[in-house]
Each structure stands twice: as structure tokens, then as C-alpha cells.
Amino acid sequence: MGKPIRVAIVDDSALMRRMLTEALAAEPGFEVVGHAADPYEAREMIKSANPDVLTLDVEMPRMDGLTFLEKIMTLRPMPVVMVSTLTREGADATVRALELGAIDCIAKPNGAEGERFADFRDELVGKLKVAAHVRLGPPRTKPARAKAGVRGGSGRLIALGASTGGVERIRDILEVLPEGSPPILIVQHMGAFYVPSFAARLDRQSALTVRMAEAGMRVTAGEVLIAPGDRHMALRRDGFGYLCEIVDGPPVSGHRPSVDVLFNSVAEVAGANAVGVILSGMGRDGASGMAAMHAAGAWTIGENEQSCVVYGMPRMAKLAGGVAVEMPLGQIPAEMLRAAAAPAARST
């Protein structure tokens, strides 16, 4: 058995610190190496304990979790999992934390016993395992502002999938796209509670209109539709054009929403009139769907290993034969628009 994952817990609630500690104490492969009630205590604790991963509360006295996270990512980058309350304010702050570089987030449980806590413990363990094995390299180069390559009415669309590290990458891409860009459909692995805040933040940060997808929404140039966090999103077509289908159903490739569900539907409905993009993430969701898109004539783009936080989903898509070109995040927005403007989506 390898070395245990060394976890430090930062939360102003003594009860929450105890709950997190007890949850990990029962799990092989973890060691809680420190506790702190606020960021000032945490700073000294991190120096002495040198943890592999940190759990961080969003709302704390003396210094809020977002300010502390920004300092961590600037001065001593390390994997951080945010622990937030299920409030609108908590959701907004958590999405901001993910933009700042937090690996993932988890909502605080309502109680310490029963199935809810068991589910919380399982989710916490899974997220910490992922966080402990991510690669945090030097700050990535943000994309340059992309020039319009194709305007509305071209019939082209872009389908994008991401997981761990995806929140900040999606923001970076959308921030540089011009008005009138081809419509974009996004599946980001994220809890349902956080998706409305994610969409609202992106809408403020982008020249495009960003909304959480609802059943029957039209797929329109200049708009971005993000899958709800607890249901699949698929593309359909009627006599008037493309529209979204939101469906219940079991997880696909381990996830709901699933990138594979979106990509497979895009391959079937849009074929060569689509561009596929797969970004940082753990696992293989999107691999078979991107292979289907590629086989249907779509141009497909994978984020390269050096750029990813977790080179999982792009790697599996590449191994499945679905990635036409790999590149760092900074080059992806321009390539998306170039491919969407090309005479055929598979042209080079």
C-alpha cells in the first residue's frame, strides 16, 4: 500500500472539523495531518504539516476562504477542495473558488448520521483522491481574444465537455469569444446546485449569452447552453433547426450529465457541422462520444497534457481515436472558430 494522502482541514466550525476528521479516519489511505479554524492558523499549519491536499471552508472569520485561496494559489499552489454551505451566496463563492484554481467543491452535510453523511463521506473521499493526484504547474497562459470566424446562420455548432479543472478553462475560453460566435453546448461535471451560479457568472464575464439549458431551448448563434448538473443534455433537430433535449436516466460513463450523451447526439444530429472540444478532467467520459463525432466528420480538439490539471478525459478521447488535434488551452478558442468557419469541419 502506498503512502497515505495527507489532508489538512480548514474550517471555523469545530463540529465540521470533527466530522471531516472522522469521515477520513474510517477510510484507508488517508491521514489528517492538521486542523485550523481560520486562514491565519492555516498558514502556519500548512508550513509545518506540508499536506498533500487541503479542505477549505468558504466563509470564515478574519479572512474569507476566497482571499486565502487566492493567496495559496499565488504563493504556494496546492490542491484544494472547497467545503461550502448550500446557499446562493455559498454557491456563488464556490464557483469563484473553482475559477481561482480549487480542484473541486463539496456541500456541507445537514447532519452527522445516516445515509446523507455516508453519501457525503463517499463524495469527499472521491474528490480528495482526485485532488491529491492533480498536477499544478505554473500559471497557464490565458487565450488571446479570438476573432470572429463565422457568424450566425452557418449551421455550425460547438460541443464542449470538461470535468476537473474545467470551470476556469471554460471561463477563459468564453471570455475571449466574440459576439455572434457559433452556438456552444457545454457539459461540465458539477453538482446541480452550482450550475445556475456558474452560468450566471459566465454570462457576466462573456460577450455571449450564457444560460443553463432547459428542454426545448433553441440552439442559437451567440448563445451558450450549459447542461443542468443532474440530467443529461442532448442535441435534437426539427424543421426549424437545432434544439436541446434534457433527459433523466442513469449515469453514462459514470456521470450525469455525461459528455458522451451530448457528443453522441451531436455526432448523430450535426455530423460534420460540429466542432468538438474536450478539456481537463478525470476518467473517460466523452471518449466514445468524441470518437463518434470524429467519425461523423466533426473537427475535434483535445486539451494537451501540459495544459491539463488532469489529463484523463482528453487522453482517453485521444486513445479512442477521437481527437483530431491536441493543443494547449491558450490556442483552443481560435481553433474552435477557425474550424467552425472552414468549408468543411475536417479541413486543415
pLDDT digits (tens, 9 = 90+) for 167-226: 999 999 999 999 999 999 999 999 999 999 999 999 999 999 999 999 999 999 999 999
Where are any strands of DSSP class E within the chain? Answer: 5-10, 30-36, 53-57, 80-84, 104-107, 157-162, 184-188, 209-212, 223-226, 232-238, 241-247, 274-278, 299-303, 325-327
Query: What 3-state DSSP class applies to 59?
Result: coil
E strand or H helix at 116: helix 114-132
Cell 440530467 locates to: 231
Told to judge if 35 belongs to the known catalytic residues of this protein, a careful annotator would answer no
Catalytic residue among 11, 35, 189, 280, which?
Answer: 189
Active site residue 189: yes
pLDDT tier, 116 (very low <50, low <70, confident <90, very high otherwise): confident
Q: What pTM did the predictor assign?
A: 0.91
For position 62, what pLDDT does the model report? 81
DSSP-based three-state secondary structure for 190: coil
- Asked if pLDDT for residue 261 goes beyond 50, the answer is yes
User: Would the pLDDT of 151 be above 60?
Assistant: no
The one catalytic residue in 35, 38, 84, 163 is 163
Please tell me which residue in 285, 288, 294, 307 is annotated as part of the active site.
285
Q: Which band of pLDDT confidence, cut at 50, 70 and 90, is reported for residue 271?
A: very high
Higher pLDDT, 111 or 257: 257
Q: Quote the cell numbers at residue 49.
A: 504539516
Residue predicted with more confidence, 114 or 169: 169
Determine phi and psi for 120, rounding to 5 degrees.
-60, -45
DSSP classification of residue 210: E
Q: What pLDDT was estimated at residue 153?
A: 44
Does residue 263 have a pLDDT over 80? yes
pLDDT of 272 strictly over 70: yes
For residue 137, what is its C-alpha cell? 504547474
Task: Work out the burial of residue 305: count CB atoms within 10 Å of its CB; fewer than 13 is exposed, 13-18 middle, 19 or more buried.
Answer: middle
Separation between Cα atoms, residue 26 and residue 28, nearest integer Å: 7
Write out pLDDT tens, residues 79-97: 999 988 777 777 898 899 9
User: Is 163 annotated in the active site?
Assistant: yes
pLDDT tens for residues 4-43? 999 999 999 999 999 999 989 888 999 999 999 999 999 9
Q: How far is CA 8 from CA 36, 118, 177, in A?
A: 8, 20, 39
CA-wise closest residue to 27 among 132, 101, 105: 132
Any bridge partners for residue 50, and if so which? Answer: none
